[in-house]
Amino acid sequence: MKGIPVKALTPQGWRTVGTLQGFTFIKRVKKSQHFHRITQSWGVQKDVLAELERRGVKEVRVEDTETGTVYLAPLRAFREHGFTLDFGHGEQIFLRVQYWQVIAHDTAPRQQALPFRW
């Protein structure tokens, strides 16, 4: 994953939770493990969001590695519409999927394949 690694201190120790590319925070996760199905929301560690705000980040991008679906939300939406939960990995602020722009896997930007040569 390109970009500057973003780490968070969890009860289990320091963990890389995403990368910073320009003014976008990118989090690559498996929806089956990280999407909160009851509230239909994605979460980001509370301390990480505070640091992203200090750095002037404008957008959060969640990439579902299982389907290729991409979710985009302005960082300010977490403060305006988010709610806090803690499942033992530190406090996270969750944002319901209705506040995300959802890009289906077949329309997400991707790198073109290079021609194959022998």
For the segment 10-44, what is each residue's pLDDT rounded down to a tens digit? 778 898 999 999 999 999 999 999 999 999 999 99
Domain range enclosing 25: 4-103
Number of domains in the chain: 1
C-alpha 96/C-alpha 110 separation (Å) is: 26
Q: Judge whether 71 lies within some domain.
A: yes
Q: Judge whether 113 lies within some domain.
A: no
Task: Report pLDDT for 108.
Answer: 47
Q: Judge whether 40 lies within some domain.
A: yes
- Residue 89 scores a pLDDT above 90: no
C-alpha 49/C-alpha 95 separation (Å) is: 12
Confidence of residue 88 (pLDDT cuts 50, 70, 90): confident
